[in-house]
Amino acid sequence: MPAILTEEIRTASSAPRNIRKTTLANGLLVLTETMPHVRSVSMGAWVGTGSRDEAAELNGISHFVEHMVFKGTTSRTAQEFAREVDTIGGNLDAFTGKEMVCFNIKVLDENVPTGLDLLADLVLRPTFTPEDIAREQGVILEEIKMDEDNPDYLVHELFTQNFWKDDALGRPILGTAKTVGSFDQRTVFDFYTSRFTPQNMVFSAAGNLEHDEFVGQVERHFESLMGSGDGVVGKVAAPVASPHITLKRKKSLEQVQLCLGVPAPAVADASRYGVYLLNSMLGGGMSSRLFQSIREDRGLAYSIYSEMSPFRDTGSLCVYAGTAVDKTEKVLELTMQEFRRLKEEAVSEGELKRAKDQLKSNIVIGLESSGSRMANLARQQMYFGRFFGVEEITQEIEAVTPADIQRLAQELFRPEVMALTLLGNLGTMKIEQEHLAC
């Protein structure tokens, strides 16, 4: 089965990345980036489905399937997988997110054929035996309990469920005890065959490899992969965030966990670099406003940060803090004060430059390994359908002005769209809407 389209990708950069793209006859897209200065190759099979693409009664099945493929295939047991990966010194891993599932392996360049064979076997030939399903249900139910005992995780989960209320984006990636306990072999196989299709997958690789030779190896393994219909997950309307104040009382906790958030732009939005810079200055590092004001100047919290969670059609920007119950209102007041400052006063050129330098450094450092470049290829393809060079990204970052940051702060930090979740031994604490005035 010959490949039907091969394309060399050029990025705007003084040192262009050697990226090439081939679409196989069955529709599977294969992306590579050649990095001749390294001795490793990282490979990943990316599936365009995640927890937000599940029906309510199947919540958690993407994550469940991710676990189940490691339980054995038609040609290898789980123990044989472990031995073969260790024999070549490889690193085999997987993860499930809100919008994707990834299976990946990193090996020495001399072990690419073996590593690819292992990864392909894992993705293409799982057995999903009833016995393995029953055992893994127990494992994941314990994982759910473990996460529920983690207050940092739990406050974020409570916030997300209420922020994206009644939408799949708000459901937990792991699922619930009820949904996970309901999965059987037919359910798992039906989900697997409907989502693990060529049109809904991207295979990416980066490292010391040659594109045409590598594509030939991928084609030999994946040419038999087919699917009913186009296999692509149907996209629904973007969810609307729900402003709320949620107080979850848990007497066993010593600290109050705070999560405060607002809706934010989608992952491919034109203003994304401005929002990243805003987030960096607000709470993205040790020099950020929240860290300096709340932790360093006043000692009100050990952990305080802000973070972006962008998705294909929407996103959120959230502030997290862990603090004592008697300091909670002060932490909230100071956070609102920083929101207000960003809205009313343009940031200085010096502060913006520090944020730009930090963001550019993180991007460059993040592309130093074959694994990060493999992931970067897949994510850019899945979200943008094109590839950005470091120079192009740098130009976009440098173009952001203090006025842009102030405008974004005014758009984002509006009291009527804010949501707050508090978790801990709250006693008789009450938080009213006026606490969210900025």
Q: CATH topology of 5-153+164-222 equal to that of 244-369+385-436?
A: yes
Mean pLDDT, rounded, for 233-251: 86
Task: Please check whether residue 274 is in contact with residue 402, taking contact to mean a CB–CB distance below 8 angstroms.
Answer: no
CA angle 71, 154, 50 (to 5 degrees): 45
Q: What tokens does 166 get? A: 């009644």
The CATH architecture of the domain made up of 5-153+164-222 is: 2-Layer Sandwich (3.30)
Rounded Cα distance between 242 and 236, Å, is 18
- For 344-363, b/e burial (b = at least 16 CB within 10 A) is eebbeeebbebbbebbeeeb
Q: What tokens does 127 get? A: 């057995």
Mean pLDDT computed over every residue of the chain: 94
User: What's the pLDDT tens digit per position in 178-222?
Assistant: 999 999 999 999 999 999 999 999 999 999 999 999 999 999 999
Task: Please check whether residue 85 is in contact with residue 119, taking contact to mean a CB–CB distance below 8 angstroms.
Answer: no
CATH superfamily of 244-369+385-436: Metalloenzyme, LuxS/M16 peptidase-like (3.30.830.10)
Model confidence band, residue 435 (pLDDT cutoffs 50, 70, 90): confident
Map out the domains of the chain as residue ranges: 5-153+164-222, 244-369+385-436
Model confidence band, residue 14 (pLDDT cutoffs 50, 70, 90): very low
Q: Which residues are catalytic?
A: 66
DSSP code at position 169:
G
In three-state secondary structure terms, 59 is coil
Task: Please check whether residue 290 is in contact with residue 235, taking contact to mean a CB–CB distance below 8 angstroms.
Answer: no
Neighbours of 13 (CB within 10 A): 14
Is a pLDDT exceeding 60 seen at residue 103?
A: yes
Of 387, 381, 255, nearest to 324 by C-alpha is 255
User: What's the pLDDT tens digit per position in 42-68?
Assistant: 999 999 999 999 999 999 999 999 999
Q: Which helix (H) or strand (E) holds 307?
A: strand 303-310
User: What's the pLDDT tens digit per position in 269-319?
Assistant: 999 999 999 999 999 999 999 999 999 999 999 999 999 999 999 999 999
pTM equals: 0.93
Q: What tokens does 201 get? A: 């997958």
Task: Please check whether residue 304 is in contact with residue 325, taking contact to mean a CB–CB distance below 8 angstroms.
Answer: no
Rounded Cα distance between 44 and 23, Å, is 16
How many Cα atoms are found within 13 Å in the side-chain-facing hemisphere of 8? 7
Neighbours of 90 (CB within 10 A): 19
Rounded Cα distance between 258 and 324, Å, is 10
